[in-house]
Amino acid sequence: MASSIVYGPVPSRRLGRSLGINNVPPKICSYSCIYCQLGKTLRMEVEPRPLYKAAKIAEQAKAKLKRAREKGERVDYVTFVPDGEPTLDANLGEEIGMLNGLGVRVAVITNGSLLWREDVRQNLLKADWLSLKVDAVNEETWRRINQPHTSLKLETILQGMLKFAQMFEGELTTETMLVRDVNDDLGEIKRIAEFLAVLKPARGYIAIPTRPPAEQVEPVKEQTINAAYQIFTERLSRVEYLIGYEGNAFACTGNAQEDLLSITAVHPMREDAVAEFLENARTDWGTVRELIDNGNLVELEYQGKKFYMRRLPGYSLP
């Protein structure tokens, strides 16, 4: 139904307040990821086609923006985050062009599987912010986690991403979803990080499934998430977790425990950084101990160093 194409604004950790655009009917995608929160893909497709009229989407977005502004609500982005893969909409470029005309930044969250196509690259070049999915760089792992359309080839997709990254002038980010016993092997994580080091995203996000997935997937160990964070950090300029907390990484509430939880929900903190934080907050390690004891914070080791990270949603005490 046309009335549900534009929704929000809703809060987004990565994009502030965002107006969502659902430009693909449920659920058409080129992948059927085992962790997809939209359930199994109903129609596997790889050929973009017109799905809605660009003018209709722009008109709805314009009305929603007007209403939000009248209510004094901030809108930082209009984001294509549909019930499927947004680049399967052949009108995407035209839609982004029209939204650019409304004076708002445009973001697209895509799996990147069609970036080897010239038309798809051209459509996405118009966006201001982009998230590409990079869950695997190994063919077998990729087939297991993303369950792609049979005509797709991983090497072609990765080359398409690299080509696009060289042309794109907006902010390019990546998202890597870690699934236990599928792509959480440190060797695969290193290979992903090496690919990302060539792609050079402005930020690399590490995610874990936090909502009910399409198939039964086991949560990765916190130890692994921390290791992945350290491996990515060695090769990328900025790395963050995306684990379902809407906390502000830079919040400074004056409450040391709340601040520690906000920071460690996005970045693990090394022991020396925590010590410095405690000193600045004029408190001691009792603050940290209490958070660990009540199950909000977890202490981990990586290469002989201690790290502290927020306990992930749905994780129980050891």
Query: Which lies closer to ligand SF4 via its Cβ, residue 33 or residue 297?
Result: 33
32 binds ligand SF4 (CB under 6 A): yes
Look at the block and give the residue holding tokens 């990147």.
Answer: 112
Q: Are 76 and 17 in contact (CB under 8 A)?
A: yes
How many chain residues are in contact with ligand SF4, going by CB under 6 A? 10
Select the span of 27-35, 51-59, 88-96, 271-279 touching ligand SF4 (CB under 6 A).
27-35
Alpha helices in the chain (DSSP H): 54-70, 92-100, 118-125, 139-146, 154-167, 186-199, 222-235, 256-264, 271-280, 285-293
Whole-number minimum distance, CB 136 to ligand SF4, in Å?
12
Query: Which lies closer to ligand SF4 via its Cβ, residue 40 or residue 221?
Result: 40
Angle at 131 between CA 55 and CA 213, to 5 degrees: 100
130 binds ligand SF4 (CB under 6 A): no
Map the footprint of ligand SF4 across residues 84-113, applying CB under 6 A: 84-85, 111
Select the span of 25-33, 161-169, 181-189, 262-270 touching ligand SF4 (CB under 6 A).
25-33
Query: What x-and-dash track marks residues 35-54 binding ligand SF4 by CB under 6 A?
Result: -x-x--x-------------
Q: What residues contact residue 123 under an 8 Å CB cut-off, 6+ apart?
A: 87, 92, 93, 96
How many beta carbons lie within 10 A of that of residue 115, not counting itself?
A: 24
The closest alpha carbon to 134, from 80, 191, 57, 81, belongs to: 191
Whole-number minimum distance, CB 32 to ligand SF4, in Å?
5
Whole-number minimum distance, CB 269 to ligand SF4, in Å?
30
Whole-number minimum distance, CB 207 to ligand SF4, in Å?
10
29 binds ligand SF4 (CB under 6 A): yes
Q: What residues contact residue 70 under an 8 Å CB cut-off, 6+ apart?
A: none
Report the C-alpha gap between 50 and 52 in whole angstroms. Answer: 6
If 0-12 CB within 10 Å is exposed, 13-18 middle and 19+ buried, where does residue 171 land? Answer: middle
Query: Which lies closer to ligand SF4 via its Cβ, residue 33 or residue 99?
Result: 33
Whole-number minimum distance, CB 307 to ligand SF4, in Å?
29
Report the C-alpha gap between 195 and 208 in whole angstroms. Answer: 20
Whole-number minimum distance, CB 77 to ligand SF4, in Å?
18
Whole-number minimum distance, CB 196 to ligand SF4, in Å?
18
Query: Which lies closer to ligand SF4 via its Cβ, residue 33 or residue 182?
Result: 33
Classified as helix, coil or strand, 301 is strand
Select the span of 26-34, 190-198, 276-284, 285-293 touching ligand SF4 (CB under 6 A).
26-34
Residue 228: half-sphere exposure toward Cβ, Cα within 13 Å: 30
Which residues contact ligand SF4 (rule: CB under 6 A)?
Answer: 29, 31-33, 36, 38, 41, 84-85, 111
